[in-house]
Chains A and B, each alone.
Chain A
Amino acid sequence: MSSEHSAAPAAPEVHVVPIRVLVGVWLALIVLTVLTVAASWVDFGHLVGEPWLNLVGALTIAVVKGSLVALYFMHLRYENPFHGFILVTALAFVGLLIGIAMIDVQATRPDLIPNYAPALETPASPTDLPPAP
């Protein structure tokens, strides 16, 4: 993807995002924020009986908001597509780390001692022992 260099030292031609696009995206973001908070109050998932719907719903709204910011505010739509590729690669590797870590955690759940945190049950310092029951 080697970009040829224009010989003439003209100003770097760059895409100026029109105001109405920026404001439009801004309004969309606000609406989506209000929507996601409202969805959490109404506890949509339990009404429908599918509790995981809340998490998935909130995440999809977040993804939509995120892509709006990335595409329009961060000019991904108008500039060198390789920038978008970098963003997607970074997100893919985050997904890889989360994915495999979750696989392992779910698979080793039976081995875990439930709520094992010895340093917390015992009082922080030996001196302040609670009175015997």
Chain B
Amino acid sequence: MTTVDASLPQPVQRPASDSENYLTHAHGFLSWAFTLDHKRIGVMYLASTLAAFLLGGMLAMLIRTELLTPGQTVMDADTYNNVFTLHGAVLIFLFLIPVIPAALGNFVLPMMLGAKDVAFPRMNLLSYWIYATGAIMLLGVLLTGGLDTGWTFYTPYSTTTNTSVGLAMLAVFVLGFGNIFTGVNFITTIHKLRAPGQTWSKLPLFIWAQYATSVIQILATPVLGITVLLIFVERTMGIGIFDPNLGGDPVLFQHFFWFYSHPAVYIMVLPAMGVISELIATFSRKPIFGYKAIAGSSLAIAIIGFFVWGHHMFTSGQSTLAGTIFSFLTYAVAIPSAIKVFNWVATMYKGSIRLDAPMIYALSFLWLFGIGGLTGLFLGNLGVDLHLHDTYFVVAHFHYVMVGGTLAAFLGGLHFWWPKMFGRMYNEKLARVAALMVFVGFNLTFFVQFIAGTKGMPRRYFNYLPEFTIYHQISSIGAFLTGLAFFVILYYLVVSLIKGRPAPANPWGAASLDWQTTSPPHPHNFTSDPVLIGPYEYSALMWNEEIGGYVLRPEVAARAGHGQEAQA
């Protein structure tokens, strides 16, 4: 451990463009295509997942346009089935699952641990290229006959339809492999590459969330892998495992599928909760309330999440015994999520809350995930689920949790780490307007679907009874508004890359180690040894006017002498 010469003022932040950083130290396609730098791989993941999000969003607009009127509006039934299937598959497998762990996580996790890179950089690059291959295969489905099975691929429909389910199965298998490699990388990095003195209780909660997510990815993704492999083998060679025409059992497929897919929804929401813990604490200038409770509930959600998959199958002919077990455990898994929300609200008590764009996303997360989580209580209930299963109530529920939860937290995290990633500040006012547009548009789109769902509007309906028209029209208007908001976000973020104000090292005053390096960071992350302060010890930072950002207090920076750490 070299001693840090604290008396020298922090190196003045030269404008990001020409200082030695990970973006500028190498140029050309090869320097990106074969980079081992976790930051570049994070940026590549970010670009690919945003492209997938855009495609998924277009498909969403198509669906909402089609549903404006009961009968055929713009496309026929088969095209509609293809559109909603791809909307689900593209957004889940190409955006929601990889985005926060692989895009933000890859960039931020090693720096939060004070490490130079993830444990296996080559595997990290391999995981990106596996993701890209899987994405190309999944989108290749468009050319080879489409996919009309729904993202759940239920047999015997998926084994008897003539759309290109085989290719989609291989794509999902390949994407699963990509997730497993990211999971292996993160778990090993968090265990083995922490900064000296950074015990488990000094890790930012974003790291805890990534750890819990990686545990789920390791334990759940292989079962999806074997399931899609069996479907592929069943379609090509006629081996009867899930297809009742060949003596198989379709409900067994549902057990296999949901054994992965329920933990998969926790793969999507846990990293989002990690981001929210960082945002709410930073923008309230208050240490997080109940650190151990939040970290513990991340792991609790990860583990109990494996016991509840049967609540997707209450009406599927699953036995009452299994249904009762699953309903009871589903209620058990609701408790850790509730505890987290209470802890976030308690964190804001007596804070100094700044309503920057990331905080607006965090607050809208509280509202949207609140509704999403609470409506899960209806669906986990044996009696009520018989009425609500596979209706628009379910559609609204998972959009509230996935879009309201994961997407809002991702946008919050993206705005939060944008200065660090690209060394530029985005246009704050426009960002706040866009955040409010997303919030209002989203509620307009999906709250009305709860009502349609309880009235009995079934899911995945191309043509619906005239009574439901009003619900669909309101929802479609909301969808267009939300779509517009995303274009506004895309606009000012791209503009900020060119004309944005150069960003200081720590614009928001966050206390995790990744903010103690320049923006954008040095290829090896840290030019000088980061000072290990508590992940939420905001008192150790002070506002520095001429830099326009926060810096370590001199006495804290001095404390970074030989081997001493500041108390958390």
Contacts and interface: CB of A to CB of B under 8 A. Distances in A.
Interface of A: 1-3, 5, 82, 89-90, 93, 96-97, 100-101, 103-105, 107-108, 111-112, 115-120
Contacts of B256: 97
Contacts of B306: 93, 96
A109 B19 CA distance: 69
A107 B194 contact: no
Contact of A100 (B192, B200, B310): B310
Contacts of B245: 117-120
B244 interface: yes
A96 B219 CA distance: 11
A108 B247 contact: no
Contact of B251 (A96, A100, A108): A108
B114 to A, nearest CB: 13
Contacts of A3: 192
A93 B259 CA distance: 10
Interface stretch (B41-49, B59-67, B315-323): B315-323
Contact of A101 (B247, B252, B307, B317): B252
B377 to A, nearest CB: 22
Contact of B322 (A82, A90, A107, A117): A107
A116 B249 CA distance: 10
A119 B219 contact: no
Contacts of B345: none
A107 B252 contact: no
A60 B322 CA distance: 28
A112 B243 CA distance: 14
Interface string B383-414: 00000000000000000000000000000000
Nearest to B244: A116
Contact of A108 (B200, B219, B319): B319
A104 B318 contact: yes
A116 B322 contact: no
A117 B317 contact: no
B310 A2 contact: no
A55 B74 CA distance: 59
B246 A107 contact: no
B196 interface: yes
Most B CB atoms within 10 A — which of A105, A108, A118, A120? Answer: A108
Contacts of A103: 319, 321-322, 325
A104 B310 contact: yes
Contacts of A97: 223, 255-256, 259
Contacts of A112: 249
B200 A2 contact: yes
Contacts of A115: 247
10 contacts: A89-B219, A96-B307, A101-B255, A103-B321, A104-B251, A105-B249, A107-B320, A117-B245, A120-B240, A120-B245
Interface in B310-348: 310, 317-322, 325
Nearest to B160: A119
Given A1-B191, A5-B196, A90-B219, A105 B252 contact: yes
Give the interface centre of A90, A111, A119 by most chain B CB atoms within 10 Å.
A119
A1 B192 CA distance: 9
Interface in B201-247: 219, 223, 240, 243-247
B199 interface: yes
Contacts of A119: 240, 243, 245-246
Contacts of A104: 251, 255, 310, 318-319, 321-322
Contacts of B223: 97
A120 B247 CA distance: 8
B191 A120 contact: no
B518 to A, nearest CB: 26
A100 B325 contact: yes
Given A93-B219, A96-B307, A120 B255 contact: no
A2 B188 CA distance: 11
A72 to B, nearest CB: 24
A93 B256 CA distance: 13
A2 B246 contact: no
Nearest to A112: B249
B333 to A, nearest CB: 14
A117 B240 contact: yes
A67 to B, nearest CB: 21
B246 A108 contact: no
A100 B321 CA distance: 10
Given A96-B307, A108-B251, A119-B246, A2 B199 contact: yes
Given A3-B192, A103-B322, 5 more contacts: A82-B191, A89-B219, A97-B255, A97-B259, A104-B310
Contacts of B319: 103-104, 107-108
A93 B310 CA distance: 15
A89 to B, nearest CB: 7
Interface in B261-319: 306-307, 310, 317-319
A101 B517 CA distance: 50
A108 B240 CA distance: 19
Q: Would you list the 8 A-B pairs with minimal beta carbon distance, nearest first?
A: A107-B319, A119-B245, A117-B247, A104-B322, A108-B319, A107-B321, A93-B219, A101-B255
Nearest to A90: B219
A104 B322 CA distance: 6
Contacts of B259: 97
Contacts of A118: 245
Contacts of A2: 191, 194, 198-200
Contacts of A111: 317
Interface string B508-530: 00000000000000000000000
Interface in B436-493: none
Contacts of A82: 191
Given A89-B219, A101-B252, A108-B251, A117 B320 contact: no
A109 B192 CA distance: 48
